[in-house]
Amino acid sequence: MSLATKAKTARQRASIAANMINKNLTFGRVFDDCFEMFDGDEVMNFLIEKTAKDPVLARNIKEKMPGLGYGDFNVRLHQAIERALGNNLVERDLDAGDLQNHRGNSVLTFKIDA
């Protein structure tokens, strides 16, 4: 039984997922368990909330999960990353995929001070 399946709340599973992302341990059953305990939507909501407040987590998601898509939760996660990194985003760090969602609309907005 994994730590995620022993966790009692979605908030605990979101914290486990965040720690696993920070340690680059996102491939495998333990990470998947964080989202597959019948409260995955709630786990994602907590993870998005945590990401918006934690620049280290935001940067790690951006760097370690480059294939993050543009479903509803993922669009919100991209926006949380942008909020957490704020002016720390540098134009050269972004590729076209970061700037466009599946409809071609801007997902990230940022300002670069000269």
Flag whether 110 is in a domain. no
> pLDDT tens digits, residue range 36-72?
999 999 999 999 999 999 999 999 999 998 888 889 9
Residue 64 vs residue 114, higher pLDDT: 64
Q: Is residue 112 one of the residues assigned to a domain?
A: no
Residue 47 in domain: yes
Structural domains counted in the chain: 1
Domain that holds residue 53: 3-99
> Is 62 inside a domain boundary?
yes
User: What are 66-93's pLDDT values in tens digits?
Assistant: 888 889 999 999 999 999 998 555 433 4
Instruction: Tokens 């491939």: give the residue.
Output: 27
Q: Is residue 109 situated within a structural domain?
A: no
Contacts 24+ apart (CB under 8 A), 25-31: 26/64, 26/65, 29/2, 30/2, 30/3, 30/4, 31/4
Quick check: is 10 in a domain? yes
* CA–CA distances in Å: residue 112 to residues 66, 77, 89: 22, 21, 8
